Chains A and B, each alone.
Chain A
Amino acid sequence: MLFKKMFRDIKNNLSQFLAIFLMIFLGVFVYVGIGSEIEGMNVNSENFYKETNMPDLWVSGSFTDNDLTNIADKTSKKLTVFGNIVNKDKTDLEINFINNDDVSSLYVIDGKEFNYDSDKIWFDSELAHNLNYEVGDEVTINFNGTEITKEIAGLVMNPEHVYAVKDASQVFPSHDDYGFIYISSKYYPLGENNIVYNYVLIDTDKPKEVKKDIENMANVISVTDREANTSYAMFRTEIDSHKTYAGVFPVIFLFIAVLSVITTMNRIVKNQRTEIGILKALGFKKSKIIWHYTFYGFIISLLAVILGHILGQTLLGNYILTLESTYFSLPVLTAEINYGYFVISAFIIFLVVLATYFSCFKELEGVAAETLRPKAPKKLKHTWIEKQHIWHHLKFKTQWNLRDVFRSKARSLMAIIGVAGSTMLVVCAFGMLNTLDNFISWQYDDIYHFKNQINLNTPGVIDSSLEDYGTTSSMGIEIKNKGPESLTIDDSGKYITYTDYNKEKISLKNEGVMITEKLADKYNLKVGDNITFKIYGTNSWHTLEVTQINRAPSAQNVTISKEAYEALGYTYIPSVVYTNEKVSDDFGTVYSKEVLRENSSTMLNTMSSVIVIMIIAALLLGAVVIYNLGILSYTEKIRELATLKVLGFNSKNVGKVLKQQNLWLSVIGVIIGLPLGYKLVDIIFSTVMGYSFDIMPVVNISSYVIAFICILLMALFVNVLLNKKVKKLDMVTSLKAAE
């Protein structure tokens, strides 16, 4: 019978039920959706790495077939050279001659497995897709002046090319003009026995020990682990950058939704006081009554959580991954969840049930007769505001609303928190868009001042027709007792500006080194400290003073002037040229600043799409929260509203009374929420981004204005809905019902 009562309660208060349902659903939907996307990237990449034996160590140097064979269970050797496809000048190829694919295996999408004895090539499946190559096609490639033509045996993916960029200087992957191929070393064009491998790939469970064993061998230049592998590290960075929106935002989103639900459940139980009294008077046991009400909370949250879980993962999670899948070469990329999400969802249900339990328990105290009567109203006192002279000049609705707000502090507070929270999320989401825009303009307007960038084919060989240009060169260094970093030698002149905290220009000094602020934070360095480093491939350590700290949005590195670099005894060989002049691509790959900017924007665009989803979700949550509060305050005041109607107020005027309160509370909530939104953007970008990007939190004025208008529009829209309810409000029944 109580079951029947519950379903009728749900039916009679469908709007309230829906509001609660929607809040939990939205919270879980966004939380699980975004979380499952990241988890999908994690799980799918880890599975792929495992399946294909992602190397644990990369040993660079010069090796023959006989070197380093028994160092670990599994080793593979490869010679990596760079070239391009003949007749497709723009397409750069990484060409790998390998002795086997035990480590860093080739994952076949189409065609045959790798075979040492087969004189064919295994081709990057993504690049093949973009170039319309199929298994069986013949491709002619060119490297170091050698041309070879071979048949494609298989289209493959490879764990070292999940995040397919040429090197760390190319921030965003592109499968149009860059790819990799694999060829058996048996068919090395210069002869099987003349091959000198430049890498040994090692798959081991004990990378540290193995590293120690081989580090000092004569033909070894460096031994690096996964963190130093470009694809691996950049994919990790990519996952980390997703944490900008995936970390704090969904948690707060969920928190606001659950908070609203819990407080609403509390009010609902309170409003059922008389019913509880009747049940008690009829002789129902306490436990049964409690069960009845907690089950109500349980069933709503359970349904909402289940739906949120399913749709969050399948729709939102997979949708976001589809936006991004073009950037990553993984055979499987689907949204995944781990048991942690189930735990959190169970915890949400538990919280809702617990909150209902406690509110119910409170109402059940005392004897039935007492519970039956409406709660003895609190002794009303005149608040300070009523003692002001101005009070008597206020309109009735203002007096009434002011008192109502002060008397139902809990509900009003919850209204303000709910609206402030939603506003915060909306501002935050907009702010993230602004911040990404600012990130791009910082890099391309404030730092870069060239028209074209040329990544030289041969370092040091520059087009002699160029009249004015600047250059840089980058190399890997190891900072003693700190870690591997990148060193940029600067001779860029006016073409690159270094900036400080306020994006103000700073000029690079000729002495010492300049490090970015993120690096300074990471290693706890400040101006005046010394760092000791060695350039990979050399053996001498240098100690230099940190003379400047700069800020840069993306590359976090150490910068040294050409003069200071040469003072260390090295010859400066530029590898990248910057100029405003027209350039030919005979000497290297040319990127115009606009192309670079566009590349960056494209990647950020997918992030923007996710953020747009978040804006919509936050606005929806805001709408539901405001709607829920409107319904709640309407239900609690129904008798007074009916009285007003009886006294001759028309529906419009009664609606105005409600509207005034809702608007006030919304405005207060929005005003509190605006600065909190900025704070949230700040937290997200400063704490979550880690050390690879330095992103300044920016929220444009227009974002505040839009958030303000959106939330208020929603409040007004909810008022329209409430006005309809007021109009339908039947005076006779609502006055009678309460008697």
Chain B
Amino acid sequence: MEKFMELSNVSKAYMIGDKPFYALKKVSFTIDKGEFVVILGPSGAGKSTLLNLIGGMDTATKGNIVIDGDDITKYNENKLADYRGKNIGFIFQFYNLLPTLTVLENVELISEVCHEKINAKEALKAVGLGKHINKFPNSLSGGEQQRVSIARAVAKNPKLLLCDEPTGALDSKTGVQVLEVLYKECKEDGNTVIIVTHNSLFADIADKVIYLKNGELENIVVNQNPKAINEVHW
């Protein structure tokens, strides 16, 4: 498989008082194109920090993050914004939809930052929301809102889908539906997907599981035979 991303010795420190506190310490790993990756760890392990660094929402204190051949740690603020806009699809635990835009507009918004690759309506149809495009987000259920945010993320056909606890606010059944959509994105459209979670059940379905603990890389496990998503329950 083609190497898509490489992190080498990535550290992130926050200053607490005069002393640095390391949220991430010298983390290195690689991810291939089209891989379905789960980053696992207890709360405070540095999962979200890692995701934020990869997504260009935050900058690393040390180390390099090379994505598709470009080192994003060298980017300035505007270039990072551009990078996020063109390459990354974000999915958050609490969706982060814009409440004053309709479902369709939330997805169409993407066209302001990058060339729309998939028609917004198509993207919504693909996640099963074709009927609700003119509603406002807060009139939808949690699962539906999360699917809107997935549609928003995939409409630009991003190289990388970053998901921070995407099922955290959802019940098991809806959670599975959401995961299925993400899985389909990965396997059928060839996008790389990284999911951050503390739910160890996710380990079974991933191609690769990266375990984090106290900001350090604990282990990397490659699943030869990942389980089908509908076999997972929580």
Chain A residues in the interface with B (C-beta under 8 A): 377, 379-380, 382, 395-397, 399-400, 403-404, 407, 639-640, 643-653, 727, 731-732, 735-736, 738-739
Give chain A residues whose Cβ lies under 8 Å from the Cβ of B98: 400, 640, 643-644
Closest-CB distance, B117 to chain A (whole angstroms):
14
Taking the complex as formed, is B88 at the interface, i.e. its CB lies under 8 A from any CB of chain A?
yes
Q: Which of B14-44 contact A (CB under 8 A)?
A: none
Point out the residue from A379, A648, A651 that lies within 8 Å of B86, measured CB to CB: A648
Residues of chain B having any CB pair with chain A under 8 Å: 48, 52, 55, 57-58, 77-78, 81-86, 88, 90, 92-94, 96-101, 105, 108-110, 112-114, 134, 136, 138-139, 152
In the complex, 27 of the A-B residue pairs with CB atoms within 8 angstroms, ordered by the A residue number, are A379-B138, A380-B100, A380-B136, A380-B138, A396-B101, A396-B108, A400-B98, A403-B101, A640-B100, A643-B98, A645-B81, A646-B55, A647-B84, A647-B85, A647-B109, A648-B113, A649-B85, A649-B113, A650-B78, A653-B113, A731-B57, A731-B58, A732-B57, A732-B58, A735-B96, A736-B48, A739-B93
Given contact pairs A380-B100, A645-B81, A647-B109, enumerate 19 new A-B contacts (beta carbons under 8 Å).
A382-B134, A395-B112, A396-B109, A396-B112, A399-B101, A399-B105, A400-B98, A646-B96, A647-B85, A648-B84, A648-B86, A650-B78, A653-B113, A731-B58, A732-B48, A732-B58, A736-B48, A738-B94, A739-B94
A732/B109 in contact, CB under 8 A: no
How far is it, in angstroms, between the C-alpha of A518 and the C-alpha of B108 when the chains are bound? 66
Secondary structure dominating the interface of A: helix
B82-A732 in contact (CB<8A) = no
Contact, CB under 8 Å: A648 / B88: yes
Question: Which A residues touch B83, using CB under 8 A?
Answer: 648
- Which of B85, B98, B113 has the most chain A CB within a 10 Å cutoff? B98
Residues of chain B within 8 A (CB-CB) of A647 are 84-85, 90, 109-110, 113, 152
Assembled-state Cα–Cα distance A665/B114 (Å): 29
Measured in the bound complex, the distance between the Cα atoms of B82 and A397 in whole Å is 18
* Leading 10 A-B pairs by shortest Cβ distance: A648-B85, A650-B81, A380-B136, A648-B113, A648-B84, A403-B100, A643-B96, A731-B57, A377-B138, A650-B78
Q: How far is the CA of A727 from the CA of B90 in the complex (A)?
A: 20
Contacts of A649 in B (CB 8 A): 81, 85, 112-113
Q: Which of B78, B85, B96 sits near A639, CB closer than 8 Å?
A: B96
Partner of B139 from the list A379, A399, A403, A732 (CB cut-off 8 Å) is A379
Closest-CB distance, B194 to chain A (whole angstroms)? 15
In whole angstroms, what is the CA distance A396 to B102 when docked? 11
Are B113 and A380 in contact, CB atoms less than 8 angstroms apart? Answer: no
Output the least CB separation between B167 and chain A (Å).
Answer: 15
In this complex, the member of B81, B93, B113, B138 whose beta carbon has the largest number of chain A beta carbons within 10 angstroms is B81
Query: Complex Cα distance A177/B65, Å?
Result: 87
Nearest-CB distance from B65 to chain A (Å)?
Answer: 16
Query: Given that A643-B98, A648-B85, A651-B81 are contacting pairs, would A396 and B136 also be in contact in the complex, using a CB cutoff of 8 Å?
Result: no
Specify which chain A residues have a CB less than 8 angstroms from the CB of B101 in the assembled complex. 396, 399-400, 403
Tell me which residues across on chain A come within 8 A of B84, comparing CB atoms.
645-648
Give the chain A neighbours of B138 by CB distance below 8 A. Answer: 377, 379-380
Is B99 within 8 A of A377, CB to CB?
A: yes
**CB–CB B57/A650 < 8 A:** no
Considering only CB atoms, which chain A residue lies closest to B94 in the complex?
A739
Q: What CA separation (Å) do A380 and B113 show in the bound complex?
A: 26
Q: Give CA–CA (A653, B152) in the complex, Å.
A: 19
